[in-house]
A and B are shown apart, each in its own frame.
Chain A
Amino acid sequence: MKKECVAMLLAGGQGSRLYVLTGDMAKPAVPFGGKYRIIDFPLSNCTNSGIDTVGVLTQYRPLELNGYIGSGQPWDLDGSSGGVHILPPYQGSKGGTWYKGTANAIYQNIGFIDMYDPEYVVILSGDHIYKMDYSKMVARHKEANAACTISVMEVPWAEAPRFGIMSVNDDDMITEFAEKPKEPKSNLASMGIYVFSWKALRQYLTEDEADPGSENDFGKNIIPNMLNNQERMAAYRFDGYWKDVGTLESLWDANMDMLAPESGLDLRDQSWPIYARSVSAPPAFLGAGSRVTHSAMNRGSVLEGTVENSVLSPNVTVGEGAAVRYSVLFPGVVVEPGAVVEYAILGENCRIGRDCHVGGTPENTPEGWGLTVLAPQCELPEGRAVKAGIMLNSKGEEVSK
């Protein structure tokens, strides 16, 4: 079955910079924005962009992610041709290996892509929050007659050294690429989203695999090799909301952005819906003593206390007299009466005992403030105080970031 365009979603990241928060799941399965998981964004973008064939490359702790994706039905990716496919590393007759890098992950699935004989392959990352029409990027790729098109966005010059920076000519064709340059020549940052002509990519992947010195990585190997060989490399400018949520701080930031549509992250906009697999639960209930402001909440939740500037996933309970401020609560979290949670991310099914105090405001913690993070299933006994910046594992023991 020939397809013009196939998407490959790199979802194998360990999410080590999210530390304990990921628990037993892969990073793309981490909850976001109340009802979503991070992977809902690229999957929904694919469907909304008319891409109906998506390979999801998984590697670490795939159970939760595989279960979540299932048949792909919530994203309309369960068609009879194409659809969503989970692609773990596999053993062939000559043995098999772990995915060694992003490029190697695609290399190992050349057979999958060849089945669809596509003209173009879109490479996506599983840890970005954004709404993007990939068909426009593919159109730009065709128009520029490029071998590779990289989506870029302007970032403040001061932040440019944190990104992969592209220099472009007058036609927005890429002339130079520098990974985290100390003295950036441009402020166009790569968003880690690529469109390749499959013929060209297939050849570069094969050559890269044959190079024993290569790290088999798109940013470090494939892109620089293509530039060196004078391939036509186009930049595609994106000016919407985009955030890499690979760290605890950025994950928290992006959740807070969701509360303020002026940030550019408007999830209520029905013209580009983000789909999710949802849970069966009754509507959210706000009790007689509840005081909920500037917050998002979801089904199955029962809120009797104060909730301010926070994002609450489904099935969250906040007891009477409890207060949750500037926090992100994952599904099933229980905050018992009288407890206070501030500037924290609480993993799935955490239980905060009565009168506990978790986290602190930056004002009250002048020395070394940070987000407080609890691993999934962590249970705090009555009255326990957890200071700002502390991270606890599922047994409630302190671990370092």
Chain B
Amino acid sequence: MKGLHGIIFAYERRGDLQELGSIRSSASIPFGGRFRAVDFALSNLVNAGATDVGIILHGHYQSLLDHLGTGKDWDLSRKRGGLRLLPPFNYRGDWGAMPYRGHIEAMTAVRSYLEGIRQDYVVMMDGDLVANLPVQEIYESHVKSGADITVVCANDSFMTEDGTYFQVGEGGRITEVFIHPHTPRGLRGLGTYIVSKKLLLELVDDCAAKDQISWRADVLQARRDTLKIQSYIWKGYAAQIRSVQEYYDRSMQLLDPAIRADLFNARRPIRAKNADLSSTYVGADGRCVNSLFGDGCSIEGVVENSILFPGVTVESGAVVRNCVIFKECVIRKDAQLSYIIADKDVEVLEGRTLMGHATYPIVLSKGSKV
């Protein structure tokens, strides 16, 4: 049938995310004051009319499962199709003895699911991509160009952990692929690909028969001459959440109205799970500038250049500057924080002072009491 099918890859473990990534997959990292990273890929797909989306998981996916539920927040709770969760079969409670070593290996593990895809085209996306991609437009350009595979690139060579970079030749065709380079060359790949279901199955089977595991090395790089691999260049905001520094820098960019206008484009809304919290309240002595606030915060102190998730309390006299504060954290009286990323349910006690730096933001792990 016509239309798009989404596959989101959420199995990768990113060690550079430190405590933020050790308890959850990078796809379920909170981002932007009320979202999780995976909300962006899901919303991009749903906004392009996709009704069926599979999510490939591995290790520490409880947080992601809690977030996704039945998929109703993205209109993906359907009688036919909808959200399909694809956990590994060898899950052992931790990251597992063998996380998938590449997208091909991951897709081989769920081959029967691939076979059941009802749509003619498949959009592959990374769960840690934060962008508002016009997937419908990318799909149209894929069909029009007659390409075998379309890869989505950012218009930059920004260094990202475990990045993929593409050299683009005449007419937008991919001429070279660099995987995980020390110094980026070419355009930064956004881990987003469009391919027909038929070709995808052929490629997965062919690679499996040759004991090949990597989509990037064994398909994109090895077959760049035999397949027509076309680029689609996205000029808007695109963050890949793979290290603490990247997380911090990309979060702070949201304080720029132009970037928010791009990422939160009202024509392609980013949907997220809803918490039933009241309005955010700023008290008589509260002073909030240049900051984002989720629902249900209560602010009696000072908040500057920061991003607060829902239900954060900042008591009087407390000062929060250049911080990212996750859900339900409590910053007690007269505490001072700057350049801190506080994970869920952190409590900073009265009068404490914590300082990181713009180039070294400090992570407070989930539930810790300072």
Contacts and interface: CB of A to CB of B under 8 A. Distances in A.
A35 interface: yes
Contacts of B32: 282-283
B78 interface: no
Provide the main secondary structure of the chain A interface.
loop
Interface string B278-301: 111111111111111111101000
B284 A33 contact: no
Contacts of A297: 279-280, 282, 293
A35 B286 contact: no
B291 A33 contact: no
B127 interface: no
Nearest to B305: A288
Interface residues of B, number: 38
B344 interface: no
A18 interface: no
A296 B278 CA distance: 9
Nearest to B282: A292
Given A33-B278, A267-B278, A284 B292 contact: yes
B290 to A, nearest CB: 5
Nearest to B299: A292
Contact of B278 (A274, A286, A294, A299): A274
B198 interface: no
B274 interface: yes
B351 interface: no
Contacts of B270: 280, 282
A268 B154 CA distance: 42
A331 to B, nearest CB: 12
A292 B276 contact: no
Interface in A290-308: 290-299, 302
Central interface residue in A283, A299, A311, by most chain B CB within 10 Å: A283
A258 B34 CA distance: 23
A81 interface: no
A279 B302 CA distance: 28
Contacts of A292: 282, 286, 288
Nearest to B310: A283
Contacts of A290: 288-289
Contact of A293 (B255, B285, B292, B307): B285
A278 B275 CA distance: 9
Contacts of A281: 264, 269
Contacts of A35: 278-279, 295
A273 interface: yes
Interface string B251-279: 00001010010011000011110101111
B279 A286 contact: no
A259 B281 contact: yes
B286 A298 contact: no
A283 B294 contact: yes
A287 interface: yes
A33 B283 contact: no
Interface residues on chain A, size class = 35 or more
Contact of A283 (B33, B269, B278): B33
A251 to B, nearest CB: 16
A285 B294 CA distance: 9
Nearest to B285: A293
A275 interface: yes
Interface string B289-331: 1111111101000000001100000000000000000000000
A280 B269 contact: yes
B72 interface: yes
A293 B283 contact: yes
A184 to B, nearest CB: 36
B117 to A, nearest CB: 27
B289 A299 contact: no
B58 to A, nearest CB: 29
Contacts of A273: 276
Nearest to B33: A283
A290 B292 CA distance: 12
Contacts of A294: 282-284, 286
Contact of B289 (A259, A283, A286): A286
B290 A288 contact: yes
Interface string B14-50: 0000000000000000001110000000000000000
A276 interface: yes
A286 B288 contact: yes
A298 B271 contact: no
A281 to B, nearest CB: 8
Nearest to A273: B276
Nearest to A293: B284
A278 B296 CA distance: 13
A286 B34 contact: no
A250 interface: no
A289 B288 CA distance: 9
A73 interface: yes
Contact of B286 (A258, A275, A287, A293): A293
B254 to A, nearest CB: 8
Q: Which of B33, B72, B270, B279 has the most chain A CB atoms closer than 10 A to its own CB?
A: B279
A268 B278 contact: yes
Nearest to B73: A280
Contacts of A312: 279
Interface of A: 33-35, 73-74, 258-259, 267-268, 273-276, 278, 280-299, 302, 311-312
Interface of B: 32-34, 72, 255, 257, 260, 263-264, 269-272, 274, 276-296, 298, 307-308
9 contacts: A268-B296, A282-B34, A282-B260, A282-B270, A285-B292, A290-B288, A292-B282, A293-B282, A298-B295
Given A282-B270, A285-B292, A286-B289, 11 more contacts: A74-B274, A268-B278, A268-B296, A278-B274, A282-B34, A282-B263, A283-B34, A284-B292, A288-B290, A294-B282, A296-B282
